[in-house]
Structure 1
Amino acid sequence: DIKFAFNQWTLGEDFCKDVLEITEEQLSDVTFDMLRHLGFSREQITEANDYVCGTMTVEGAPYLKEEHLAVFDCANKCGRTGTRFISARGHIRMMAAA
């Protein structure tokens, strides 16, 4: 998640306080969202996260044919945008066959 790159431990506590004008109270609040505080919308954060960290799915990959997607299927949807999955039993059978 891109939010892990924007926190007081990565940027430094002094920088967050002095330059970004974030209070000690905000920095110690586990629900504080630095990117939202800096003015980014949820949509912008999601787009940046997908670009930087990936979508965690091969669905929609530019050079992967639709008929080849099944080989990557597993027992849960992959990533925030993934839609494909197989049953848990099917996943176990595939792993046993490997």
Structure 2
Amino acid sequence: MINIGRYIHRVEFLIATHQKDEFKAVQTTWVPLFTRRARVITKSTKTTTDITPSTQIELEIRVRFHPDITAELQVKFNNQLYIIDSVIDYDNSGSELQIKAIKQ
């Protein structure tokens, strides 16, 4: 059973659109597809210092089931874009999705 009271965040799902410019180069833009209420948990933060320091943030997002949510989409949360790494219906009930997203 889903506890709807845990869905306290708003996340926006974006889809890629491809258009050719005047030089026949393909331009990709991300446009909003839909917005959902979600439970967002920061799972891990990794900092690497190879040549330049960089930080990787991984989120676990739980939303009510929606058939259009796939790994081809991106997520916008707190005005930051995240790439969807995986979408799992972990109990196969079709009621809730668990999404793993990584900050760009």
**TM-score, length of structure 1 as denominator length:** 0.29
Using CA pairs under 8 Å that are at least 6 residues apart, name the structure with larger relative contact order, 1 or 2.
Answer: 2
Q: Which has the larger radius of gyration?
A: 1
* Structure in which a larger fraction of residues adopt strand: 2
Q: TM-score, normalised by structure 2?
A: 0.28
